[in-house]
Amino acid sequence: LPYSEYENVKDTDSDLIIVGFSQLGSESDWRTANTKSIQRALSKENGFSLIYSNGRQKQENQIKDVRSFIFQEVDYIVIAPETETGWDTVLEEAKEAGIPVIIVDRMIDTADDTLYAAYVGTDKYEEGKKAGLWLEKYLKEQESKDKSSLKKKTYNIAVLEGTLNSTAQIGRSKGFEEIAKTHKEWKILAQESGEFTKAKGKEVMAKYLQEFDDIDILLSQNDDMTFGAIEAIQEDSLTCGVDGKIKIISFDGVSEAFDRMEEGLINVDIECNPLQGQLIANIIERLEKGEVVNKFSYMDEKVFEAENAAAERIGRSY
């Protein structure tokens, strides 16, 4: 936003709390829901003036955006960071300018926790573990069935990872591997990034299908990549999901994923809750009053299985 426009905001609505929000991109349905939630909570009606910037999946854009917020002398800065490292310098600049920073969704890697006032987001490591625990339970159930199609000595797993070095990728990989390493019969065939997008997810999955002819399980670290992967699987005349050859574990739980679960194409979706706006607004309001805030706030999250998808989706807004 040009400086003149900001001045305008400030003059006419001097009571509003001015917040600069650097969103990392618009790569997924999850991200859209997250952006909307934050825009809604930090609206004029609620006493905020929000300056939104889209980093287009590049940390360097985000750093520029944060610098522009500092220059514009906003009251608070909210950052959903693309990747974890490399934030110290710009956060020191914000600190020097006396602007409190709230980190949302993904986390940053810093030795100095005075560089941010609070973090609001989700526990991605837990999400990864939940995926592993679900698979453990699922395979046990299959093995106890007499005529299960999925009864093998080794289970071949292909992984579509998210943006490398993002908290969502690091946490979900680590959490899942934690469970996988307790199972000698689980074999991770490949683990590559699909950058959290549908197009890249499809591309990498198509490559996996060329390379490996016996994938039993796909672990896809977000729904958008899963949608791409399903297309690649179907174009290869293969089947997936509840009654299909390749079992699919996905993450996020966006509306389209519920469609795919109802169709039986995705077996399970590990929820990641993007509705973080209200919590962020609450934290800013408390900081305004000089109150102490929790340094870390995590959203509640569930696991959705295809069998219960129709009932579980009732009342969901994205």
Tell me the backbone φ, ψ of residue 110, rounded to 5 degrees: -145, 150
Pick the closest to residue 217 from 159, 145, 152 (CA basis). Answer: 159
CB 272 within 8 A of CB 122: yes
* Binding residues for ligand GYE, total number by CB under 6 A: 13
Q: How far is the CB of 106 from ligand GYE (least distance, A)?
A: 5
Q: Which residue has the tokens 């065939």?
A: 189
For ligand GYE, which is the closer residue by CB, 196 or 304? 196
CB 218 within 8 A of CB 246: yes
For ligand GYE, which is the closer residue by CB, 230 or 272? 272
Q: How far is the CB of 167 from ligand GYE (least distance, A)?
A: 7
Q: How far is the CB of 223 from ligand GYE (least distance, A)?
A: 6
Identity of the residue numbered 253: G
In degrees, to the nearest 5, what angle opens at C-alpha 12 toward C-alphas 11 and 18? 70
For ligand GYE, which is the closer residue by CB, 241 or 274? 274
Question: Residues 16, 23, 31, 249: which binds ligand GYE (CB under 6 A)?
Answer: 31
Tell me the backbone φ, ψ of residue 47, rounded to 5 degrees: 95, 15
Contact between 306 and ligand GYE per CB under 6 A: no
| x-or-dash string of contact with ligand GYE, 106-135, rule CB under 6 A | x-----------------------------
Q: Please give the structure tokens belonging to residue 220.
A: 């896809």
The sheet with strand 101-105 has its strands ordered as 48-54, 17-23, 76-79, 101-105, 118-121, 296-298
Under rule CB under 6 A, which residues in 149-188 are in contact with ligand GYE? Answer: 168
Question: Residues 65, 203, 252, 271: which binds ligand GYE (CB under 6 A)?
Answer: 252
Identity of the residue numbered 171: G
Q: How far is the CB of 82 from ligand GYE (least distance, A)?
A: 9
- Interface residues toward ligand GYE, by CB under 6 A: 27-28, 30-31, 105-106, 168, 196, 222, 224, 251-252, 272
